[in-house]
Amino acid sequence: MIGFEGKIGVVTGGASGIGAAVTRGFAKHGGTAVIVDFDQKRGMDLVEDIRGGGGKADFVACDLRERSQIDAMVKTVVSRHRRIDFLHNNGYAIWRGNDSAALLGGVGDEHWDHVMNVGLTSAFRVSRSVLPVMASQGGGSIVNTSSTAAYHAERHIGPYAVAKAGISQLTRAIAVEYASSGIRCNAVCPGVINTPLIAGAPLDASFIDGIPLGRLGEAEEIANVILFLASDVASYVTGALIVADGGRTI
């Protein structure tokens, strides 16, 4: 049975979408969920909602593009809560520039750098700050958000796919290097999930027909996989990349 009583979980990008679903689920199962996000209002609204329902939650503002803010965020969490048992690296790099849907030959440096910084480098930096904390307390669990885009190429999302492939390999590297410290690291690879990030996206009937389950996934369904990997129920699982896409990649 999944339970997080007495445990502290940090969720980056935790104020909306999959991150918010993980935050709610971690608190629902007895843990203290620490939301890390740049959107302070949305983050604090979620904290109040969780606390209003009897759960435990906290918020720390952080811009994942800034290394100094990441290090300060981890120090703040440890100062307030004394430990970190679970980390969900869920930073999502949204690029709104004119080249947002460009083929790789048309992707500008600013686009590429932003996606790599928020989508990949931030996960490395947060993990780098959290790993010594987990090692000193005897262990912990890290779950990264990768993507099915890490497995196959599609037009117009080249930088995103490259970043997610990097997340998958970062997951394996952490799993190998820190197993002896009692730290497990896994990743979930969602398909297209019904979150605000895809609201209004032109997904036609043929796209849905390509999903054997016949629908988009919901954030809570991905959160359930992440919470399983975070929990002691998955105590023998590390270095795994779990695809949750309704069967689309097969």
Cα 86 to Cα 11, 94, 154, 178: the distances in Å are: 8, 25, 32, 14
State the distance between the two ends of the chain, measured CA to CA, in whole angstroms: 30
If we measure between CA atoms, which residue out of 138, 135, 133 comes closest to residue 76? Answer: 133
% helix / strand / coil in the chain, to the nearest 5? 50, 15, 35
Give the position of tokens 């700050």: 129
Q: What counts of helices (H) and strands (E) characterise the chain?
A: 8, 9
Residue 25 contacts residue 221 (beta carbons within 8 Å): no
Tokens of 57: 């939650």
Query: Which of 151, 160, 178, 236 is an active site residue?
Result: 160
User: Does the active-site annotation cover 92?
Assistant: no
DSSP assignment of 126-138 equals: HHHHHHHHHHHHT
CB 34 within 8 A of CB 77: yes
DSSP 120: I
Report which of 53, 50, 49, 45 is spatially closest to residue 33, judged by C-alpha positions.
Answer: 50
Active site residues: 160
